[in-house]
Chain A
Amino acid sequence: MMGIGEVFWLYIWLIIMANMGLAIYGLIMRPNILKKIACLTVLADTSFIVLAFIGYRFKYPVSPYIMTNWAPNNATITHFISESVDPLPPTLTITAVVINLSITILLVFLAIRLYEVYGTLDVKKIAMIKKELRGGEK
């Protein structure tokens, strides 16, 4: 028999999976590059939720990873550890946010350049234009 924490855990995981599925589907199937970038961002954001979720503790009371006592002794630290969530997943999230933002910035600039060259952001149309151009060269 699953406890309420486990049912909630399962429910969140299913939502995360559904979100990831939709993002990957959009990334593969949508021909518009801007939509692909948006789907990539959704996929990255979902993975940040996964990280935050992995670091969470299903207990009460639960506190953030910030020590309020600035001159702690061993007892204070032990009590803090018994309540605090894992600080490593949020750290990895920050790293991932930075990398995702860098990629998005670069992709947006490349998309603008692509629009300038081909006049469209549709990958299928771009492929057709390229094909025509290659045919013209021959």
Chain B
Amino acid sequence: MRVTGLIAAISILIVLFALAYGLVVLGISGPPAPVKLRLLGEKYLYYMINPATKYFTAESPEGVSAILWDYRGLDTLYETMVLFGAIIGAILVYREYLYSEPRKTGKIYGLSHIVRTVSKIIIWLTIIIAVAFGFTGQITPGGGFIGGAAFAVAPVLLVLVYTLGYARRLGLTHRRALLLRASFLLLLLLVIVTPLIAGGYIFQNQAKPGSAFSFPGRFIDSTPLGGSIFFLNLFELFAVAGAFTVAFILLGVIASLKEGE
């Protein structure tokens, strides 16, 4: 056993040092301590909000959002599908638990009054910050996925502090979370295929050669909207929040059932 461990450790060290040698001495990831931008990164930065190049601009001053939902949009769509596939997989493993009621163990449910009061404030703050991430994803760091992941903290806190039974009484059920996820996923797909219906290209954001279709690039006060990026961020936020909420409700149900056993 010890010999096996030692061999594994030495092998890992050899591989890692070979990788370090390649990166540092041979420079396989570019020159050490790079000062210049890579050409691809430079192009993205040049075109992301450039009124002079109307066929290439994404109308988003935030580079990551422009790449995620415009230049590499299909990549992000498949990534979203992986997330929802994983959630569906988790539900399939435990689907029978979703329909069972959490057992009461005779213990006092929920945490103390102080924790509940503090959590009330934190839950609302979390929701506000999460929604703000989604709404301003095209101009500041954040975006749909980050917002959705932050949003899902609120139901987790609700279940932890107030118990699953209370959350259910408030209307937080897995069915509703699934409905939220499915409806916003459909809206997301609708935004993706809208240009196609209008005679353009799939995932088209701004006008392209051969298709004049364009999502609105600016708000009324000329704040950048990023065209489809704004809508995709917003719908992704609620779809991700719904997906995570389902997973957390499922974990809550399993935990409460185990507690009851």
* Residues of chain A whose beta carbon lies under 8 Å from any beta carbon of chain B: 3, 5-6, 8-10, 13-14, 17-18, 20-21, 24-25, 28-29, 54-59, 64-68, 70-74, 77, 80-81, 84, 86-88, 90-91, 94-95, 97-99, 101-103, 105-106, 108-110, 112-113
B46 and A88: CB pair below 8 A? no
**A10-B44 contact given A66-B141, A103-B86, CB 8 Å threshold:** no
The residues of A that contact B149 with a CB separation of less than 8 Å are: 101
**15 extra A-B contacts, CB within 8 A, seeds A25-B8, A58-B33:** A17-B20, A59-B35, A65-B64, A66-B61, A67-B62, A81-B46, A86-B41, A87-B41, A87-B67, A88-B38, A90-B63, A95-B75, A102-B86, A109-B247, A110-B93
B49 and A98: CB pair below 8 A? no
A21 and B44: CB pair below 8 A? no
B76 and A24: CB pair below 8 A? no
A88 and B41: CB pair below 8 A? yes
* Residues of chain B whose beta carbon lies under 8 Å from any beta carbon of chain A: 5, 8-9, 12-13, 16-17, 19-20, 23-24, 29-30, 32-38, 40-42, 44-46, 48-52, 61-64, 66-68, 72, 75-76, 79-80, 82-83, 85-87, 89-90, 93-94, 139-141, 143, 145-146, 149, 222-224, 247, 250-251, 254
With CB as the reference atom, state the residue of chain A lying closest to B60: A67
Closest CB pairs A-B (n = 3): A87-B63, A65-B63, A102-B86
With CB as the reference atom, state the residue of chain A lying closest to B59: A70
B62 and A109: CB pair below 8 A? no
Instruction: For A105, give its contact among B51, B76, B86, B141 (CB under 8 Å).
Output: B86
A99 and B222: CB pair below 8 A? no
A21 and B12: CB pair below 8 A? yes
CA distance A14 to B20 in the complex (A): 7
The residues of A that contact B86 with a CB separation of less than 8 Å are: 102-103, 105-106
CA distance A63 to B104 in the complex (A): 55
Chain B's nearest CB lies how many Å from the CB of A38? 17
The residues of A that contact B82 with a CB separation of less than 8 Å are: 98-99, 102
| 17 A–B pairs (Cβ distance < 8 Å), ordered by A | A21-B16, A25-B8, A58-B34, A66-B139, A67-B62, A70-B49, A70-B222, A71-B222, A88-B40, A88-B41, A94-B146, A98-B82, A98-B83, A99-B82, A99-B83, A102-B87, A112-B254
The residues of B that contact A70 with a CB separation of less than 8 Å are: 49, 61, 222-224
**A113-B80 contact given A67-B48, A81-B46, A88-B41, CB 8 Å threshold:** no
With CB as the reference atom, state the residue of chain B lying closest to A66: B62
CA distance A105 to B224 in the complex (A): 35
Chain B's nearest CB lies how many Å from the CB of A100? 10
Instruction: For A66, give its contact among B37, B50, B63 (CB under 8 Å).
Output: B63
With CB as the reference atom, state the residue of chain B lying closest to A73: B52
B61 and A77: CB pair below 8 A? no
Instruction: For A68, give its contact among B12, B29, B33, B61 (CB under 8 Å).
Output: B61
The residues of A that contact B34 with a CB separation of less than 8 Å are: 56-58
Chain B's nearest CB lies how many Å from the CB of A81? 5
The residues of B that contact A3 with a CB separation of less than 8 Å are: 33
With CB as the reference atom, state the residue of chain A lying closest to B61: A67
B68 and A94: CB pair below 8 A? yes
A81 and B45: CB pair below 8 A? yes
B41 and A113: CB pair below 8 A? no
The residues of B that contact A108 with a CB separation of less than 8 Å are: 251
